[in-house]
Amino acid sequence: MTKLSDWQEVVRGKLAQQQAQIPAEWHVDPTEALNVLDVPRSSGILSEEELIITETPMSVLLDNLASGKVSSEKVTLAFCKRAAIAHQLVNCLTEILFDRALTTARELDVHLASTGQTKGPLHGLPVSLKDTFRIPGVDSTIGFVAYANEPEPEGSESEITRIVRESGGVLFCKTNVPTAMMMSETYNNLFGFTSNPYNRNLSSGGSSGGEGALIALRGSPLGVGTDIGGSIRIPASFCGLYSLKPSFGRFPTLGAKAGLPGQEAVKSVNGPMANDLDSLELFAQAVLSTKPWERDPNVLPIPWRKVEVSGKKLAFGLIRDNGHLRPTPPVERALGIVKAALEAQGHVVIDFVPYRAQYSMGLLERLFGGDGGKHIHDLIVRSGEPWTEGLKLFKAAYEARKGNPALASDLWALQAERAVYAKEALEHWRATAASTGTGRPVDGVISPVTPWAASPRYKFGGDVSYTSVWNILDQPGVTFPVTFVGDNAVDEKPAYTARNEWEKFVWDNYDHTEQVGAPVVLQVVGPKLEDERTLALARVVADSLSE
């Protein structure tokens, strides 16, 4: 018998602890199916009422909970069951909190019955959280073996966790992330790989991949992820979801456990992921109604504003190709669908190329490597776990800097370079006023999220230039589903000549027959701090697609 190493023993113990939190009667039969979206319905574990609850829009659920039409205990139990099923199918959870969630739900039901009042705008609603958010008494491993079995102490609660809880939300699980949350696919040595429920041979994206997979299986009505280079939008894209990557300062970020603590050259933001646009707005309204700027100094004192754009002639920029990485055929097709739909509604759509996309990707990598890879290296060494393939850039950075430590002056120079880039990119955006015919710059930009509909496992490629440029520029983005990968010639790979190694990797690994049925999702990006308007633009696009 092979002897396990110390880190493998930790993993075995952690997984056994996790498995023990799922009741035996909730276990699903093994399946070889690739698309497992229907398994929660066919498993027999959920009652018909529980199926209805878990497939009801969040806005309706909140109304039913507030009126007492359905109890929080009943809703929470239904989502705990469905989350357990989802986890067994795609490996999406880290911390399972079902027992404490049901206790909380019962307390909320008593509160409503005795006072006639809800506890807050999220009263009784189960909410899932990316593993990065701290809950006292619960691990926040963020994919590191070294952080296993180190529960957060009292007083360490993340601000967004507190707001959800005090708004009446029921925290019932935390979801899987890649090691350090610095990879675009979700896998680590502790919990393993999170696959895509549309096709388990595909990736769920990262770093909020556990959230994406869970919500796609309707194991949660609302999830909260984080985004520093695409970490909300990429998994939302791969899993067919709506999501909001906000501008920094709109939602609280205080107290979240970071993969690169202290790295603020590119700011991480928190945002919602869900199956519809209304849920994103309800989350935003709920969070900002608590005036989080009074507790988190990073939050700007800007309440959620009502913005109306329907009925107006809008101008959109359309990124068909960022000049660095050509999208695969399903994504190209989705862009054409959106363009035609918007133009049919009388809107203006012009071609737009983001400002120096390849340069922005390189700038992001250099900013993330500001400490020379030391923090991640030290945590890897602490447990003895091996480096994952997706962290090879950080490993290489550490090896290159050994004996030559990173200096603060190096980082300052990079930040000055970033400021110049941001100014030039702003001028590039504003210059579109000459082409829109409206006398103003584009209202928003429609773009691929990645070149993929959903990449094969371990084949993403690492280039996040379609998302990271907007992190560097701190502009909000909303994802929206458009179509699915087809099984006919429309999405076949044409002859191509790659322009660089990133593009060659993606196109060499693209085969539409391996992705049939995968969702194709795009993003709309708006100006900095105009998050409400960007969400309204996404609604215009979504409505045009339904016409």
Q: Where do we find the tokens 């992921």?
A: 273
**Is 207 within any annotated ligand binding site?**
yes
Query: Hey, is 448 helix, strand or coil?
Result: strand
Residue 373: both structure tokens together: 């890879």
244, β-bridge pairs: 478
Q: What Rg do the C-alpha atoms of the chain give, in angstroms?
A: 22
Catalytic residue among 140, 207, 383, 468: 207
Annotated catalytic residue within 158, 231, 279, 383 = 231
The active-site residue out of 14, 130, 257, 339 is: 130
Q: Which residue has the tokens 């409505």?
A: 543
What does the DSSP 8-state code read for residue 38? T
Q: How many CB atoms lie within 10 A of CB 141?
A: 24
> Has 339 been annotated as catalytic?
no
Q: From CA 12, how far away is CA 7, in angstroms rounded?
A: 9
Cα 239 to Cα 86: distance, rounded to the nearest angstrom: 13
How many C-alpha atoms does 139 have within 13 Å on its Cβ side? 22
| Residues making up the chain, counted from first to last | 547
From residue 513, alpha-carbon distances to 79, 91, 236, 490, 517 in Å are 33, 24, 22, 11, 9
- CA distances to 175, 355, 483, 524 from 328, rounded to whole Å, are 29, 21, 14, 18
Is 67 annotated as contributing to ligand binding? no
* 29-33 LR contacts (CB < 8 Å, sep 24+): 31/89, 33/200
CA distance 173 to 92: 10
**Residue 239: other Cβ atoms inside 10 A:** 34
Tell me whether residue 181 is annotated as binding: yes
- Whether residue 130 lies in the annotated active site: yes
> Can you tell me whether residue 128 is helix, strand or coil?
strand
DSSP SS3 for 348: strand
Is the separation of the CB atoms in 53 and 72 below 8 Å? Answer: no
Please indicate whether residue 42 is annotated as part of the active site: no
229 is in an annotated binding site: yes
The binding site comprises 181, 207, 228-231
The binding site for substrate comprises 181, 207, 228-231
Q: Kindly list the catalytic residues.
A: 130, 207, 231
